[in-house]
């Protein structure tokens, strides 16, 4: 089985942000870092080469494959920022309708600038996502 690329590293979060983010994105990244740190009570770590992650959990798929990844986090993807969260229930879906200008993938929330979002709604989405993941997989 191939080794996972997305694992905690000792790489610098600040170096990652400085090397990838525009000036506006840098400000948004620092605001996200404050939000995530407040919610998780964890310091950021780089997960793989491009995810700023908070906390961690172990998962087991139905196939038996296991791994460890960050509980939540964000990344810079070109002109967009991505927040990683679980939005699989009705409450999360309802919150997404109030969030503001975004696109949602399976577990990736894409947006161009934090100013386009309701940050209180984003915070609640993150809190709910963490609770859902911990309920499903437990805590480390």
The CATH number linked to 22 is 3.90.1150.200
Q: Within a domain: residue 46?
A: yes
CA distance 113 to 78: 12
Q: What is the pLDDT of residue 5?
A: 64
Number of domains forming the structure of the chain = 1
Q: What pTM was estimated for this model as a whole?
A: 0.92
- 89 located within any domain: yes
Domain for residue 1, yes or no?
Answer: no
Taking 50 as the pLDDT cut, the residues of the chain under it are 1
Q: Is residue 3 part of a domain?
A: no
The boundaries of the domain holding residue 85 are 8-137
Residue 122 belongs to some domain of the structure? yes
Residue 73 DSSP SS3: strand
66 HSE (CA, 13 A, CB side): 4
pLDDT tens digit sequence for 16-55: 999 999 999 999 999 999 999 999 999 999 999 999 999 9
């Amino acid at each position: 089985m191939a080794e996972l690329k997305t694992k905690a590293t000792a790489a610098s979060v600040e170096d990652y942000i400085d090397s990838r983010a525009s000036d506006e994105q840098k400000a948004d990244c620092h605001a996200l870092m404050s939000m995530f740190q407040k919610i998780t009570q964890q310091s950021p770590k780089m997960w793989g080469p491009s995810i700023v992650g908070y906390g961690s959990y172990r998962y087991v798929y139905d196939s038996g494959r296991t791994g460890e990844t960050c509980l939540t986090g964000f990344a810079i993807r070109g002109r967009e920022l991505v927040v990683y969260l679980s939005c699989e229930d009705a409450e999360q879906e309802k919150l997404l309708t109030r969030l503001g200008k975004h696109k949602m993938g399976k577990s990736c929330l894409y947006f161009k600038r934090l100013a386009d979002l309701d940050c209180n709604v984003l915070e609640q989405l993150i809190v709910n996502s963490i609770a859902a993941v911990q309920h499903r997989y437990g805590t480390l």
